[in-house]
Amino acid sequence: MARYKVIYDRDGCIGAFACAAAAPDFWKYDEDGKATLEAATYNPETKRWELLIDEKDLSENQAAADVCPVQVIVIEKVEEQEEEKGEVGE
């Protein structure tokens, strides 16, 4: 089964919360006025929040990325080598 990485630039978020409306299982309102990607981890190298998802969760998160007015949500397919590398580091 294919895996994907949701990459979120929280600093660029303007708090429109369209993502939370499109994918409420993953995107939540936060007290600071920005959206939070549930269960994501912060990558200090890229300064982005990242979450690995399965193919079954792709359409919901792609909808969130598509409706984001400032395009701070990107979804990339994870290559097998990268996925194995990530599992070793976890």
At residue 25, the 3 state secondary structure works out as coil
Supply the pTM of this predicted model.
0.86
Those residues with Cβ within 8 angstroms of residue 89's Cβ, 6 or more apart along the chain or in another chain? none
Number of structural domains found in the chain: 1
At residue 73, the 3 state secondary structure works out as strand
- What would the pLDDT profile of 28-78 be if each residue is shown by its tens digit? 999 999 999 999 999 999 999 999 999 999 999 999 999 999 999 999 999
At residue 43, the 3 state secondary structure works out as strand
Q: Is the CB of residue 20 less than 8 Å from the CB of residue 27?
A: yes
Residue 14: which CATH number?
A: 3.30.70.20
